[in-house]
Structure 1
């Protein structure tokens, strides 16, 4: 009991990103570049959506929320990892660890719900275009955003409360580069098998159900697209849908591996690799996927460049 009480008040130790890797410093610098690219890309996309009137539509409003979530998600893990690496320190306070878990699950849960609602937006746009403006009005978009955040916060509160009250009787070293729930559960001296079932149920609610709803939406969309006679109309519908489907596969795929399979089947290296993909690569790829494959965003960006004073001086 004394050991448990002591561990509830002491700090944790983060082993860092692939501690046994020989040239990990090279990977750290690559991640820093990815982080800067992700921050820049999401800020630019968010900025373009809010200043260009042509992008003031439900689809782009939801996309701006996705950019904000991605920006916050990558910023909840990478800065602390960089600070620890360059300072040579590996400690993290229990409070900071709890805050990191809370924001990670809040943002992750909100993104799962938001991706599902974005699929519904595409379903209405393609399958019921005449009523799109009525169904997807500004109030509904705000409600979708609020539901996403509330769902993420509720799930995150439960996960954070349980994880931060786990007794750590032995080593306080978390084999990860940030405070991740499965990694903390592995160093706990308490039997977590019952809670792993809870995690499985939560995974079904936040991963499998959203994925099923997204697939159902796109099944109806593709059935409608097949009956569109205009090749231009088909290509336009498929372009917006393919971008969203790519983002969904990049995000939900690794989540299935992490939270829908037994924890003992994952090695620390595998968990870190999946986390890097979800929390570092995906936030960088999302704005690129939506920008490079979206003519409206490209036009908005070109419009800003033409109005920029430096551009005018160069011309």
Structure 2
């Protein structure tokens, strides 16, 4: 017979959003349970240097930061469970989630913090040079390329925004796009075309990220013309893949509304979804900022929203008893 585990606050996902929600939920006495998912710690566990998380003068390591967050969550009363959720039922409370092994998790509230993953090109050298010149976040890593040459790959809003942001650090930014026109909004395109430090390589696709000798890391990208097939090389110290993100929302499609890009929809200014008692935070609902610190802040919001939801219910129930 499968085991059933119940909690006042069930949290799905263990990145900065989920663990921050757990810390606040535990301090509110809700004894939260975090189901960690396939990537405990979230995207920061595959990030090396972190230089922009508040509170640390020196560069810290992403995995270390997540270990510290988890330790803090456990210290204040969070239970961590390593499992992958296979199905959900949000039609009644307590909400019911079933793990791969058959364990049933029920929660009076549910906080969804399953995050998102950057989309990658899948070409040679991309994985090997991750953190050594290849990145999917200019806001996170652009600072490391001050005064250096960088390339951005993509043609949508994200790519154009990343290219424009990188001009704060580099005087030599190249946008590589596989077509002859951009998909980005016109106002962004106008800013891009007008910027003197950005050049555009049209009809070019990345064939390979090129690694230098020894500890050099990335030294450039090999390109192929999508029209003629001609090959070329562009030297670069840093390359930013900006072809979008994929939020981890498959589990909730048909249960909760998602927007055109697949992100969970929440009530503006809150973490509330369309189902009372279900809250969403972090990259699973945020396609604008996508930072560890904003995810942590949203996790705090979700825990506070959940605590207030339960407090309101408890008060309403007590009033009925008194009557």
TM bin, normalised by shorter chain, reads: 0.3 to 0.5
Using the size of structure 1 for normalisation, the TM-score is 0.32
Using structure 2 for the length normalisation, give the TM-score: 0.32
